[in-house]
Structure formats: structure tokens, C-alpha cells
Structure 1
Amino acid sequence: MIKAQIEEMIEVGRCAGLWGMDLVASDMQLALRICNGIGADWFPPWMRQLVGVICPSLIVISLPHDIEYYLGGGIRDRWVADWHFLGNGLRMAWYVKSYKVAVKAAVLWILLRLFGAAAFNWKRKGAK
């Protein structure tokens, strides 16, 4: 993603009342480096693009989630990050007035809970 795209998504996210847009805006260099759309970094680019085509209004919710996964932590941190993802997805569905977006957000959240652990930056308690 380029800076202009991320800035535009931050603005959309703020208008929609999404959690974590300030987290993204506070470190643009980090956002440019790790925010790659919906999907883990090890996903092939075509797969992330496909998910983006299927769920375009949900790409913005991936920004703070990517940063939360990058910052990592323990089990609770992953749980909180995933709930932020779902909450933001449902807020975006409300913002665009679409039940389909809400269903897609819920499906992506279930997939995230089932398979997202591999992408999370696990840290031991007390480790830096």
C-alpha cells in the first residue's frame, strides 16, 4: 500500500468510528511496512487481492489489526486484537449499511480465530 491509500483509509475509518485508526496514523512508516490488506504476510499477494475484491469495505479494518498482530503479545493480546477486528467489521457494516458486510466480517473473524495464530507475533511474558 502507498501512503495516500493508507491516509484515505484512516479517514474512512475515523468517519466510520473504527477503533485503532490513531494507532495506524501514529506510525505511518510502520503502517507502510506491515499493512498489506486482509490476510497474513505469508499469503500470496493474489490471495490478499482476491479477499480485497470480495470484501473491499473491510480492507480498512485490517490496518489496526495488522499493527496489533505485529506488536504481538500473549493469548489475551491476540484475543483483544481479534475482537477489535470483529467490532470494526460490524461498525463498518453499519457505516455502509450492509448486512452482507456484517456477514463477511463475521466469516473473516471466524477464519482469523481458527487460523490467525500463525501470523501473530507471540511474545513471552517479560520478554522484550
Structure 2
Amino acid sequence: VQKHKAGPGSSALSQLRSVTLIWTARYPSLFNMFEPTFKEAIELSEANKGTGQGFEFNLSLWLTDQKMRAQVLTSQEYSMGRPNLKSLLEPASASGMRSLVFHCGPTGLEEASRAAALELGLDFHTETFAL
């Protein structure tokens, strides 16, 4: 979350207009752990709304394991199941702005993310972290 306003032309982040986080997880502890960060990003986005400064932040959380529902502690809205990535990415494609789909996760989700991004004409990047 950008806490300080960047000076004119000081970084690519200052040109950022919108961030949509689509996060799919089996275990809700990941959502719970990032609750303060979600709140901060949403509050910053709300404070900047209509000012022409800052960026818009949208959050789309997806919990894939129904049995884990009772462990969700986040106050953020979430959906159950797997997201329809193409329909969630279509607004980025229709915006006319350059958009990047950044993926980190299992191979199956990578393939689905890549296919949706490329079909919609969006840039795609993936990262893999070995634990």
C-alpha cells in the first residue's frame, strides 16, 4: 500500500490508476493474516476517490474449500468456489488502459489465468516461490 504520495513522475506507481486483487485460497488463514492490509488499501482508495490522485483498490476473495468456511475471520466479503477469471478480468480489458495479470500460485490456476489474460489481450506475468 502506497502510504506517501510520490512526486510528479517519480515512479511508475504514481501512474497506477487501479488495482484489483483476485485472491483464491483453500485456507482462510491467509485472508485473516492480511486483513489489516486489505483495510488500509480500501481506506486509502476511498479517501482518494474523486480526487484524481491515488489509485482505486478492488478486492475479490475466493475460498475454495467449503469445509474451511468456519475459519474465515476477515470482515471482507468473499465468495465460495473458484472464480470465473475471464468474467473478472473483462473490465480491465474494456477499460482501454494497459493492464497486467500477475499470477502466483499452482500450475492449474496459472494456466487458467494465462488463457483468460491472453484471450482478453492483457499482459500476463507469473512468479513461482519455492517454500
The interval holding the TM-score normalised by the smaller chain is under 0.3
Tell me which protein shows more strand as a share of its residues.
2
* CA radius of gyration, larger in: 2
Scaled by the length of structure 1, the TM-score of the pair is 0.26
Scaled by the length of structure 2, the TM-score of the pair is 0.26
Bigger relative CO (Cα 8 Å, ≥ 6 apart): 1
